[in-house]
Every structure is written in structure tokens, then in C-alpha cells.
Amino acid sequence: MGSIWELDFYSRPILDENQKKVWEVVICESPLDIRTQTDSLFRYAQYCPSTQVNSGWLRTALQEAIDKAGEAPIKVRFFRRQMNNMITKACQDLGIPAQPSRRTLLLNQWLQQRMEEVYPQEPGYQGGTNPSVRLDSPLPQRLPDALEGQQWGFVSLSAAELAEMPEWDIGFGEAFPLEMAQLSPETRIPGVLIFSPRALPLAGWMSGLELAFLRVDDSAGTRLILETGATESWILANIKNPKILAETQGFAEAKQTANGVHFIGIQSSPQAESFAGFWLLQEMNLP
């Protein structure tokens, strides 16, 4: 399998000599395995004058990044929806699929680091926030009937137990190194297991959704919501049973304690020793 890249192309809190915002493309390789050493992953950054912000400039920068990396990625993830057309066009011109996604964990961390350590050192730096455009998200959708699990439940594993994930039998899945979340081996990581006789089709469907995170929604009764892509969300469960409501609150609290880290797994039955799908997830604020 080839690499997946995470990309952001947006203005930064820096003004040029004409008092115009300086733009920047930032690219990093996605960590796909819990054993990944993030220091070894490819990174690329280049400033762009405000007068050259277009898909052509971005395409040229992407080609330069590919040349430096030695190979093109199999996919580019980006979280900034208002840049969808420009990023998609630049990637398509190079024959690379572009995917709106909130699974840009390393990119988010790197941008935060640059906000704190890099941009303040640049001439023309303007302190304060660098707000992005907030777009409304659609309402959560129901899971397709054929893909609903027959059973599900809350579980938890320690960070040390999750570190053994590469040894498990997993059909579809993705992870990231827990060092990114600064968790101790004893930290309890909450998760949800879904059991279905159609476990493999369900896992295959989920693998194409750019899984972002699970969240508890209390806006219309209590629901467990799966967030995917840049804006999509799916109702995994409507929760009314008092015992399950208490477990749901426990899941939300444990997720917060674990710096947003949690997981979702899919098995054919509670007795199964393999996973049709298993994803390590983290909810974090986008820049």
C-alpha cells in the first residue's frame, strides 16, 4: 500500500509587503499504523503569495513535494471544505484522488506547532486568531438497513493493550501512534464494538467513509453518532435504556480523559477472535 498525504492550503497570520495575507501549502504523510514513527514521515511546506493563489500554483507545489518524496501518494486528505474545488482540481491534474476528511491528525498537530513556533518568527506576523470559514453540516443520516449491526456495546482497552493491534487479525482498519495523544500505557481507551453477520460488508463500507470520530449527541434524545468525511455523520444508535444511557455517559467521559482517543471495531459475533474492521480514532479541534 502506498502513502496517504494530509494537505492544507490556506492563508496564514502573516502579511507581505503589500499588507496582503501570505498563503501556505502544508503537506504531511498520514500515520497509518500504531507503530509509526512520526518523525520519519514525509513533510513539506511552502509559502504562496496572495497573487498566486490558484490550482495551478498548488499543482506545481504538489509536484515538487512528490519529487522530494520520491513517489506520489495514493490519496490526499484535506479538512478545509472551502478549499475543496482548488485542492481537488490540483490533485486531479496530477492523477491523485483528493478526499475531504477530518482524519488529518498529524496535520492538525503540525499546524498548531507552526502557529506557535514558526509564524511568530516571520516578518509581517499578525498575532491573534486566523479564523477559517465555518460551514453548516448536514443532519446525521440513518445507516443503510443492510449495514446495521445486530448488537453493539461499549468496551475499553488500555493503551498498552492497543499497542498490540498489529498482531490482531483485522480485515479493514487504520491506526496512529498513541504517542501523538501523549497517553500513558495505563490509560483506558473507550470504544464501541459492533456485531453483525454481515461484518465484512459493513467494515468494507466504513473503510470508504474516512472515519473521523464517534460522539454522543444529546440534541434530539441521546444518540451515538459516527462522524465521517468533512461533514457527513451517521446515527449508529438511538439510546433510551437507562443502563445504556449511563454507559454512554461513561464512554464520553473516558474519551475526554483519553484526549479524545477511542476506537470502533466490527466483528461477526461476540465470540469472534478476529475483526472485520478496527479503527483507532481521535476527536480533536480543527485549525
pTM: predicted TM-score of the whole model, two decimal places: 0.92
Per-residue model confidence (pLDDT) at position 138: 78
Under-70 pLDDT residues of the chain: 1, 129-136, 146-149
Q: Which grid coordinates are listed for 255?
A: 474519551
Interacting residues of 218 by C-beta distance below 8 A, sequence separation 6+: none
Domain residue ranges of the chain, discontinuous segments joined by +: 4-121, 141-282
What is the residue-wise DSSP string for 213-244? EEEEE-BTBEEEEEEETTTEEEEEEEE--HHH
Tell me the C-alpha distance between 93 and 119, whole Å: 30
Per-residue model confidence (pLDDT) at position 149: 66
Query: Percent of the chain scored above 70 by pLDDT?
Result: 95
Per-residue model confidence (pLDDT) at position 204: 93
Spatial strand order of the sheet with 4-15 comes to 43-48, 21-29, 4-15, 75-78, 98-100
Per-residue model confidence (pLDDT) at position 281: 98
Per-residue model confidence (pLDDT) at position 144: 75
pLDDT digits (tens, 9 = 90+) for 202-229: 999 899 889 999 999 998 789 999 999 9
Tell me the C-alpha distance between 74 and 279, whole Å: 19
Per-residue model confidence (pLDDT) at position 50: 93
Amino acid present at 255: K
Tell me the C-alpha distance between 83 and 54, whole Å: 10
Quickly tell me which residue has 488500555 as its cell.
Answer: 158
Helix (H) or strand (E) holding 202: helix 199-207
DSSP, collapsed to helix, strand or coil, labels residue 45 as strand
Tell me the C-alpha distance between 109 and 176, whole Å: 13
Domain at 4-121, CATH homologous superfamily: Ribonuclease H-like superfamily/Ribonuclease H (3.30.420.10)
Per-residue model confidence (pLDDT) at position 71: 96
Mean pLDDT score of the chain: 93
pLDDT digits (tens, 9 = 90+) for 47-66: 999 999 999 999 999 999 99
What does the DSSP 8-state code read for residue 36?
-
